[in-house]
Amino acid sequence: MSSPGGSEVVSPGTLGGMTKIAIIGGGNIGEALASGLVADTSGAAAEVSASDVTVVDPYAPRLDYLRETYGLATTDDATEAATEADIVVIAVKPYLVSTVLEQIASTIDANDTETVIVSVAAGVTLATMEAALAAGVPVVRVMPNTPMLVGKGTSAVAGGRFARDEQVETVRGLMEAVGTAVTVGEKDMDAVTAVSGSGPAYVFLVAEAMIEAGVQLGLTRPVAAQLAAGTLEGASAMLVKGDKSAAELRGNVTSPGGTTAAAVRGLEENGIRKAFYQAMEACAERSAELGRPSSDED
Ligand X SMILES: NC(=O)c1ccc[n+]([C@@H]2O[C@H](COP(=O)([O-])OP(=O)(O)OC[C@H]3O[C@@H](n4cnc5c(N)ncnc54)[C@H](OP(=O)(O)O)[C@@H]3O)[C@@H](O)[C@H]2O)c1
Q: Which residues are annotated binding-site positions for NADP(+)?
A: 91-94
Cβ(79)–Cβ(86) below 8 Å: no
Q: Is residue 130 a contact point for ligand X (CB under 6 A)? A: no
With binding defined as CB under 6 A, does residue 121 bind ligand X? yes
The residue range among 5-13, 21-29, 126-134, 164-172 that interacts with ligand X, by the rule CB under 6 A, is 21-29
Distance CA 10, CA 68 (A): 18
Helices (H) and strands (E) in the chain, counts: 12, 8
**Is residue 154 within the footprint of ligand X (CB under 6 A)?**
no
Judged by DSSP in three states, 1 sits in coil
Dihedral (CA of 201, 206, 212, 215) sign: negative
Q: Verify binding: residue 225, ligand X, rule CB under 6 A.
A: no
Q: In 3D, which of 112, 122, 120, 153 has the Cα closest to residue 139? A: 120
Q: Give how many residues touch ligand X by CB under 6 A.
A: 28
Angstrom distances, CA of residue 253 to CA of 199, 228, 233, 246: 24, 17, 16, 11
Burial of 104 (0-12, 13-18, 19+ CB in 10 A): buried
Q: Which of residues 247-286 bind ligand X (CB under 6 A)?
A: none
Q: State which of residues 4, 25, 43, 214 lies at the interface with ligand X (CB under 6 A).
A: 25
- Amino acid letter at 190? D
Which one among 5, 19, 46, 93 touches ligand X, defined by CB under 6 A?
93
The interface mask with ligand X, positions 180-219, x = CB under 6 A, is -----------------x----------------------
Q: Binding segment for ligand X among 6-14, 28-36, 110-118, 230-238 (CB under 6 A)?
A: 28-36
Instruction: Find the shortest distance in angstroms from Cβ 125 to ligand X.
Output: 13
Q: Under the criterion CB under 6 A, does residue 37 sit at the interface with ligand X?
A: no
Q: How far is the CB of 153 from ligand X (least distance, A)?
A: 9
Residue-wise DSSP of 176-220: GGGEEEEE--GGGHHHHIIIIISHHHHHHHHHHHHHHHHHHTT--
Interface mask (CB under 6 A) for ligand X, residues 43-82, using x and -?
A: -------------xxxx--x---------------x----
Find the residue with minimal CB distance to ligand X: 27
User: Alpha helices of 40-96 — where are they, by DSSP H?
Assistant: 60-70, 78-82
| Site for ligand X contains 28 (CB under 6 A) | yes
Question: Binding residues for ligand X, per CB under 6 A?
Answer: 24-30, 56-59, 62, 78, 91-94, 96, 99-100, 120-122, 144-146, 197, 298
